[in-house]
Copies of this chain bind each other. A is one copy, B any other.
């Protein structure tokens, strides 16, 4: 296997914003090919980082994920997910994870552990998604939702999520990523 990847690396020479809204902007990235022979124009989105947090609640001898059911405007469907959202300007990713957990689920956590940081879509997005585990949970008086947020909190047995990821209502692909990272950190290594 090669240990030098120069033959794969493109060099960005120019970047032009072509569209902007409050959620993201779109830019053209003009890049020189690895063999230097041609230029390519690639479209991508500039967006703030996101956080996704898998909260584990122990109750009556069972383990549950604390999840949220909400309408998703891109897919035009309901989705049952781990809580999460966009990092605010002054936040680090673990602060954002705790804030989103509290606002969306009305639980807080004593313990927040980073599970990983990935690109939600490295082909067309320049941001990162930060995955966390939340433990030692305790209830708060209520959710704190924005006026355009309608979110149900649900306790879902961990086995149910592990068996049904990829089927409705577990259709948000990045929740599958969070589950993979949680399993990687909480199960014996494969043999």
Contacts and interface: CB of A to CB of B under 8 A. Distances in A.
Contact of A24 (B31, B43, B75): B43
A181 B162 contact: no
- Copies of this chain in the oligomer: 2
Nearest to A117: B166
A14 B27 CA distance: 26
A165 B24 CA distance: 27
Interface string A149-167: 0111010001100110111
B73 A31 contact: yes
Interface in A100-158: 115-126, 129, 131, 147-148, 150-152, 154, 158
A123 B72 contact: yes
A125 B129 CA distance: 16
Given A75-B126, A152-B5, A163-B184, A120 B118 contact: no
Interface residues of A, number: 78
Contact of A125 (B40, B74, B181): B74
Interface string A77-109: 111000000000000000000000000000000
Interface of A: 1-2, 5, 7-10, 12, 18-19, 21-24, 26, 29, 31, 33-35, 38, 40, 42-45, 69-79, 115-126, 129, 131, 147-148, 150-152, 154, 158-159, 162-163, 165-167, 171-174, 176-177, 179-181, 183-184, 189-191
